[in-house]
Amino acid sequence: MLFIAATSSSSSGRRQLVAVGVIAPLVSLVDQTSSPSYNKDGYSFLYPFGWQEVTIEGQDKVFKDVIEPLESQDIRDFGPPDQVAGTLIKKVLAPPSQKTKLIEAKEQDVDGKAYYTFEFVAQAPNFTRHALSTIVIGNGKLYTLTTGANERRWGKMKDKLQTIVESFKLANV
């Protein structure tokens, strides 16, 4: 699958960012004789025959490999629970300015699907957030459910938040 995200530069001097991730070789599956067609953000690229463009909010272009789609993937394909949790916490679930700590990460099988559930804390200068998350791949998507509370309320909220995370289940659609 190919994801491209582009953000425009702003008056604060931020540089334009184009992030590209590719899971599939481009080998000789592309027609390299055609002229490039630039999009509104001023970039172009080749992609293999058999990839289908899909729309995902917040992404410029997303192409899905119709021969080996994401539906066949499993969360375990990305690594063990502690590794995947650590990456998500640092890159997605907490701002880079916060100090984070993974408390626990585990794998659970529910109706033949692997779910990763983990607990972590994220410390900002004036508060600490204690959180629980669960992630799973299904229906061609990566699902993440995260809930949490300020560290002062954690003792009172932990069981309720655990119930929320454990209740998350996917249906095949």
Q: pTM value?
A: 0.61
As a CATH number, domain 75-167 is: 3.40.1000.10
Identify the pLDDT of residue 11. 39
- In the three-class reduction of DSSP (H, G, I as helix; E, B as strand; rest coil), residue 108 is classed as strand
**CA neighbours within 13 Å on the CB side: how many for 12?**
2
Identify the pLDDT of residue 42. 74
Supply φ then ψ for residue 28, to 5 degrees.
-95, 20
Identify the pLDDT of residue 54. 75
pLDDT along the chain (173 residues), means of 10: 43 39 39 55 73 72 67 82 94 92 96 94 94 90 91 95 93 80
**96 to each of 18, 30, 125, 143, how far by Cα in Å?**
19, 38, 12, 22
- The residue ranges of every structural domain in the chain are 2-68, 75-167
Identify the pLDDT of residue 103. 97
With beta carbons less than 8 A apart as the criterion, state whether 101 and 120 touch.
Answer: yes
Q: Using the 8-state DSSP alphabet, how is residue 166 labeled?
A: H
